[in-house]
């Protein structure tokens, strides 16, 4: 079990477990964008149940807390996890995905006409006019991760989205605003990534994009939102 062995080895502060939501409609439907707040597909629900069972096994007998984005695809994943763990998720809107601020009635093809070309430095890029910049996403990711870790001594499980997980990891590993690129640490649907602090006080990335609990699934992950 990855947590048991690593926690014993590191004798560190509690790990922070980042879980990306299961497959959502926006991952497979070319008409649906993440700003439309889609829920999980039938495969996404199965993936959520698989990651839930793995976490229930890994966290048995340990103290933990579960946080979730309020968006449907993440919250539905968190509900599956919390059913297995016999707890309730703490919903935090700061864990939401990158904020495009698009009209939720816009389809993906309709939204494409408003998309902005990537600018340099990347920290100033807004994918759409009025959207969050990549730098603002990075700072939000760091702020919410810092707050949650300061508030809890237990193992922390955070269920959210690919792009904010990407920026959480970058922030944890000490990247600065000037170091940002659009995609730095890609994660698959229902994957597990683990952050911690070593016995030497170093922030470390223990696991990235662990999907071994999904080996029996076939996933089509075409749209990373």
Q: Catalytic annotation on 154?
A: no
Considering only the C-alpha atoms of the chain, give the largest distance between any 2 of them, rounded to a whole number of Å. Answer: 52
Of 185, 129, 197, the residue nearest 161 (C-alpha): 185
Distance CA 50, CA 212 (A): 10
- The catalytic residue among 97, 132, 219, 225 is 97
Q: Chain centroid to CA 132: how far?
A: 17
Q: Give the H or E element holding residue 29.
A: none
- The catalytic residue among 21, 84, 161, 219 is 21
Of 132, 204, 159, the residue nearest 69 (C-alpha): 159
> Between vectors from CA 43 to CA 37 and to CA 44, what angle results, nearest 5°?
40
Q: Catalytic annotation on 97?
A: yes
Distance CA 163, CA 157 (A): 17
> E strands, the chain, where?
16-20, 64-68, 90-91, 155-160, 192-197, 203-210
Question: What residues are annotated to the active site?
Answer: 21, 97
């Amino acid at each position: 079990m990855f947590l048991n062995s690593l926690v014993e080895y590191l004798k560190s502060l509690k790990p922070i477990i980042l879980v990306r939501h299961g497959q959502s409609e926006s991952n497979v439907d070319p008409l649906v964008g993440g700003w439309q707040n889609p829920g999980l597909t039938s495969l996404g629900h199965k993936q959520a149940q698989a990651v839930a069972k793995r976490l229930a096994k890994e966290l048995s007998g340990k103290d933990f807390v579960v946080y979730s984005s309020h968006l449907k695809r993440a919250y539905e994943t968190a509900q599956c996890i919390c059913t297995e763990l016999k707890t309730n998720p703490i919903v935090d809107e700061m864990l939401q995905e990158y904020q495009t601020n698009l009209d939720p009635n816009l389809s993906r093809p309709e939204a494409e006409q408003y998309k902005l070309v990537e600018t340099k430095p990347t920290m100033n890029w807004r994918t759409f006019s009025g959207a969050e910049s990549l730098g603002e996403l990075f700072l939000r990711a760091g702020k919410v991760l810092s707050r949650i870790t300061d508030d809890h001594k237990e193992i922390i499980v955070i269920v959210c989205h690919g792009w904010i997980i990407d920026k959480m990891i970058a922030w944890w590993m000490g990247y600065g605003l000037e170091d940002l690129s659009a995609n730095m640490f890609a994660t698959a649907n229902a994957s597990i990534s683990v952050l911690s602090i070593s016995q030497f006080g170093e922030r470390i990335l223990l696991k990235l994009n662990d999907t071994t609990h999904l080996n029996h699934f076939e996933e089509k992950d075409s749209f990373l939102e």
